[in-house]
Amino acid sequence: MFREFIVASAASWALLAQAPRVEEAQLRAHLPFLADDLLEGRGPGQRGGRLAVLYLETQLKALGLRPALGSSFLQPVKLLGMKNLVSKSALTFTGPAGPIPLQYTRDILLGSAAPLAQLRIDAPMLFVGHGITYEDRDDFKGIDVRGKVLLALVGDWPGQGEDYSSPSHFVGRWTYKLAEARRRGAAGILLIHSAGRVGYDWDVVQAGWGTERFYPDPPPEGAALQGWLSEEASRALFKASGLDFEALRLAADAPEFRPIPLPIYLKGVVNSEVRRFEDMNVAGVLPGTDPVLGQELLIYSAHWDHLGIDPASGKIFNGAVDNASGCAGLLAIAHALQHHPSKRSQMFLFTCAEEPGLYGAEAFVAAPPWPLEKIVADLNLESLNFAGPTRDIGLSGAEHSSLFESAARCAREEGLSVTPAKANPAKLFFRADHFAFTKVGVPAFSPGFSLTGGWDFPDPAQADLAKSFAESRYHKPTDTYDPGWNLGGMLQQVQFTLNLGQVLANDPERPTWKGGRPAFDRVPALGKLP
C-alpha cells in the first residue's frame, strides 16, 4: 500500500525539490505584532481580537488571495460570554455537621452554560465516579441524576490503553463529562481536579474558569451549573460526608462502581454577566491550477484567539507561542506560496475561539464554504517551537491516516527524524483545531505540536527552554515574545508543513484513513460540546 502510494505520487515528490522556502523575516514580523500588548491577548469578542482579525484579513488581501466565503474573508461565529459575578453569588455546601467552608477560586471555580443572569441551585450531590457512559462502561447504572449536582473525577478509567487519540479516551475528556451530565438532565456537575490525571495544575483551570467563559450561541441545554473543585476541596467534601475520598476514587475505577449520594446539599445563587457577540474565522484561498483537482481543497489552519486580559491582575495573556506563532507560520506559508499555486486549491484558515473549545473550527466544519468531501486534509499549526532547531519532528495524530507516511517522507527530505509516537495522557489530540476536522472525517493533524516536549534539541539548554513553556508559560501571562528566540526550529516546522502541503495539494491520490476513519461517531451523540 505504502509502495503504491509512493509510485503514484512520484511526480509530486519531484515537485517538492522546487517547493518555495519559508522566510524567517515573515515569522519575525508577524509573531511579535500578534503577541504585542496592543492586541490585548486576542480575547474572544474583545478589541484585541478584532484587531487580530483585521490584521489577518488585511494580510490575506495583500497577498492576493481570494475571499474564502463568497465575497468575504470572514465567517461569523456566534458566541456567548458568561462571567460569574463572584461578589454577587453565594453557594453553600452543607453537610451533616453544617456548612463546609470552601473558598471561590482557591477551592472551587464555576461556570454556567445557561444564558441566565441568575441561576438558582438547590440540589443534593451525587458522586458519579468517572461519569462516563461508553460501550460496556456505564458509571451511572441507570440512576436518575435529574435535579442533582454531580461530582465526577477528571480523566479516564484505567486500562483503556495508550492510544490517547481513540474515541474511548475522548469520552474521558472533561468536556464530554459536562455534556453527559447535561444529556442526563443533571442540575449541574463539578469536576474533581487532579493534576496527575489531566496533566495541568489548578492554576491552568483558574486561568480558564476564573474569568469569562465562552459557549456557542445558542448554548446546549441542561446542566446549567458547571465547575471544578480542587483535589483538597473534594477531600474536604468527602470527609464531611464521612467518606474516604481515596478509597472511593479507587472504587470508581471498577466497572461495577455505582453512584454514591453524598449527604451534602448545595444551595445558592450564581449571578452572571451575559454577553452575546460574534467572532470571526478568517480565510483566504489560493485557487488550484488543475481543472479537476482544483475543485478539491487542502486547508492550513491556526487559531488566532487567546485568553485576553486577566481581569484580576490586568495582565495580558499575550499568547506568543499559543498561538501567535501558528498564525505567523500560516502567514509565512501563504507568503511563500502566493505565486506558487498547486493543482489543488489551498485555504489559509485562521480560526476564532479555539481556546474555549474549538468553537471556530467546529463552526467552520458545521457550515464549510467547500463541501466537506472536497476537503482532502487539514494541517494545523499550534504553539510552534520557539527554542531553536531540532533533529526531529513529532507527527502525533497523523498515524490514523496516510498523512503519516507522507509526513515521514517529508521529514526525511528535510533531514529530520520522526519522533516515535508516545502516550499522551494530556490528550492533546482532542485539544487543537485539527480534531474538529478529524471528527467529520477529514484527515488532519498538527505537525510538530508537542506541548509535552519530545523535541530532540542538539543543545540541552534549548531543550530546557522548550520544556519551560509547558511548565511555566502555557496559558499564563508569561507566554510573551522574546526577540532573542532562535526561530530556526519554528522555520523548520513551518517549512515542513509547507512541504507536506505541497505533496498533498499536488498528489493525484488523496490521503486515506487507515482501517476506516476514527469512530468518533460511535461516541454517544450529545450535540455540540459545551
Residue ranges that bind Zn ion, judged by CB under 5 A: 322-323
Return the H-helix or E-strand segment holding 21.
none
Q: How far is the CB of 504 from Zn ion (least distance, A)?
A: 23
| Comparison of 180 and 322: residue with beta carbon closer to Zn ion | 322
| Comparison of 260 and 331: residue with beta carbon closer to Zn ion | 331
| Comparison of 129 and 360: residue with beta carbon closer to Zn ion | 360
| Comparison of 265 and 474: residue with beta carbon closer to Zn ion | 474
Place of cell 522548550: 466
Which DSSP letter does residue 386 get? -
> What is the grid cell recorded at 148?
442533582
Q: How far is the CB of 323 from Zn ion (least distance, A)?
A: 4
Nearest to 99 by CA among 268, 265, 271: 265
Cβ-based neighbour number of residue 133 at 10 Å: 18
- What is the rounded distance in angstroms from the CA atom of residue 33 to the CA atom of residue 252? 48
Handedness of CA 472, 473, 476, 482 (dihedral sign): positive
Nearest to 325 by CA among 5, 34, 20: 34
Cβ-based neighbour number of residue 346 at 10 Å: 25
| Comparison of 301 and 323: residue with beta carbon closer to Zn ion | 323
Q: Which amino acid is at 118?
A: Q
- What is the rounded distance in angstroms from the CA atom of residue 422 to the CA atom of residue 425? 10
Q: How far is the CB of 354 from Zn ion (least distance, A)?
A: 6
Return the H-helix or E-strand segment holding 152.
strand 149-153
| Comparison of 392 and 479: residue with beta carbon closer to Zn ion | 479
Cβ-based neighbour number of residue 440 at 10 Å: 17
Q: How far is the CB of 261 from Zn ion (least distance, A)?
A: 39
Q: Which amino acid is at 408?
A: A
| Comparison of 238 and 304: residue with beta carbon closer to Zn ion | 304
Handedness of CA 198, 201, 203, 204 (dihedral sign): negative
Q: How far is the CB of 37 from Zn ion (least distance, A)?
A: 19
Nearest to 165 by CA among 345, 350, 426: 426
Q: How far is the CB of 450 from Zn ion (least distance, A)?
A: 13
Q: How far is the CB of 256 from Zn ion (least distance, A)?
A: 39
- What is the rounded distance in angstroms from the CA atom of residue 39 to the CA atom of residue 56? 12
Q: What is the CA radius of gyration of the chain?
A: 23
Cα 520 to Cα 201, 230, 436, 503: the distances in Å are 28, 30, 11, 27
Q: How far is the CB of 194 from Zn ion (least distance, A)?
A: 23
Cβ-based neighbour number of residue 203 at 10 Å: 12
| Comparison of 65 and 331: residue with beta carbon closer to Zn ion | 331
What is the maximum span of the chain, computed from C-alpha positions, in angstroms? 76
| Comparison of 12 and 323: residue with beta carbon closer to Zn ion | 323
Q: How far is the CB of 383 from Zn ion (least distance, A)?
A: 5
Place of cell 499568547: 319
Helices 326-337, 47-62: axis angle to 10 degrees equals 20
| Comparison of 165 and 323: residue with beta carbon closer to Zn ion | 323
| Comparison of 84 and 206: residue with beta carbon closer to Zn ion | 206
Task: Assess contact for 100 and 64: CB atoms under 8 A.
Answer: no
Q: How far is the CB of 431 from Zn ion (least distance, A)?
A: 8
Cβ-based neighbour number of residue 392 at 10 Å: 18
- What SS3 string covers 253-292? CCCCCCCEEEEEEEEEEEEEEEEEEEEEEEEEEECCCCCC
| Comparison of 19 and 27: residue with beta carbon closer to Zn ion | 27
| Comparison of 497 and 506: residue with beta carbon closer to Zn ion | 497
Cβ-based neighbour number of residue 310 at 10 Å: 17
Partners of 80 in beta bridges: 215, 276
Q: How far is the CB of 57 from Zn ion (least distance, A)?
A: 20
Q: How far is the CB of 322 from Zn ion (least distance, A)?
A: 4
Q: How far is the CB of 81 from Zn ion (least distance, A)?
A: 19
